[in-house]
Amino acid sequence: QVQLVESGGGSVQAGGSLRLSCVVSGYTSSRGSMGWFRQPPGDEREEEREGVATIDSYGTTSYRDSVKGRFTISKDTATNTLYLQMNNLKPEDSAMYYCAADPYILFATTMRTSRAINHWGQGTLVTVSS
C-alpha cells in the first residue's frame, strides 16, 4: 500500500522560508513522477489542486511560473523522500500543500498539469502572512 506523509508546513511571514518533506512508502520513487500540489484550505477536490513543482525519474523538473526562482523540488531516492524548498514566500503561496506520486506519468511536465494522479498525501498547511 502506497503512503505519502508530508511534514514541514507552518506559519511564516512574507519573505520567509519553509522546507516541506514527503516520506513515501510502498512506492519506488525511481519510477514515474512525483510532485507538490496546492489548493486553498477547505477545498479538498483533487481536480482543483494546482501543480506547484514536479520531478520525474529522469531528474527533469517542472515549476509553476509563479514559483520559479523561489521554490526548488528535489528527491532522495535512498530514503524515498521528496522535498520542496520554498524561499521568499508570499501571502499568495498560502495553501494546503499535497505530495503526489504516480508510476504511470513519465514526465514532470505532464505530472504538473495532470488532473488524475494515483497517490496523494494528506497535506500540510502553509500560511504566509504579510
| pLDDT tens digits for range 70-125 | 999 999 988 999 999 999 999 999 999 999 999 999 999 999 999 889 999 999 99
Cell numbers linked to 71: 521554490
Mean pLDDT of the chain: 93
Does residue 38 have a pLDDT over 90? Answer: yes
Cell numbers linked to 66: 509563479
**Which residue, chain included where needed, has cell 526562482?**
69
Comparing CA positions, the residue from 92, 87, 98, 96 lying closest to residue 129 is 92
pLDDT band at 19 (very low <50, low <70, confident <90, very high): very high
CA 3 from chain centre, in angstroms, equals 14
d(CA 111, CA 127): 25
Q: What is the mean pLDDT of residues 43-52?
A: 85
pLDDT-above-90 percentage for the chain:
83
Cell numbers linked to 90: 508570499
pLDDT band at 66 (very low <50, low <70, confident <90, very high): very high
Q: Are 20 and 95 in contact (CB under 8 A)?
A: no
pLDDT band at 44 (very low <50, low <70, confident <90, very high): confident
Q: Which residue has the higher pLDDT, 13 or 26?
A: 13
HEC profile for 9-43? CEEEECCCCEEEEEEEECCCCCCCEEEEEEECCCC
Comparing CA positions, the residue from 42, 61, 40 lying closest to residue 50 is 40
84 burial class (0-12, 13-18, 19+ CB within 10 angstroms)?
A: buried
